[in-house]
């Protein structure tokens, strides 16, 4: 029998990650609470970037559902492991 901790693999679905979610259009930074405390800002093109640490893929999918619920176009999602250089 293995514990859940032993099942965790680098880059697996339970690995925390730093994510940048780009959304077409502008959202006010006050939406940060709705996006579970992630930073919400506007890029130079006038689109929204939601960024920060996400605990696992399940949480990422939850955030993407929120984007869908807003009815805004998802432009891109980029994730990396915390501390990764790229």
* Domains with residue ranges and CATH for the chain: 16-79 (3.30.70)
Q: What is the pLDDT of residue 85?
A: 58
Dihedral pair phi/psi, residue 5, rounded to 5°: -60, -35
Q: 């880059």: which residue's tokens?
A: 11
Instruction: Write out pLDDT tens, residues 5-25.
Output: 434 445 677 889 999 999 999
- Residue 4, pLDDT above cutoff 70: no
Q: 């893929």: which residue's tokens?
A: 57
The 3-class secondary structure across the chain, one letter per residue, is CCCHHHHCCCCCCCCCEEEEEEECCCCCHHHHCCCCCCEEEECCCCCEEEEEEECCHHHHHHHHHHHHHHCCCEEEEEEECCCCCC
Instruction: Write out pLDDT tens, residues 23-82.
Output: 999 999 999 999 999 999 999 999 999 999 999 999 999 999 999 999 999 999 999 987
pTM to 2 decimal places = 0.79
């Amino acid at each position: 029998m293995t514990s859940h901790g032993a099942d965790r693999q680098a880059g697996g679905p339970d690995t925390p990650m730093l994510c940048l979610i780009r959304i077409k259009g502008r959202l006010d930074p006050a939406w940060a609470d709705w996006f579970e405390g992630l930073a919400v800002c506007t890029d130079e093109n006038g689109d929204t970037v939601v960024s920060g640490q996400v605990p696992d893929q399940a949480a990422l999918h939850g955030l993407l559902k929120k984007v869908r619920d807003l009815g805004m176009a998802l432009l891109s999602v980029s994730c990396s492991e915390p501390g990764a250089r790229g």
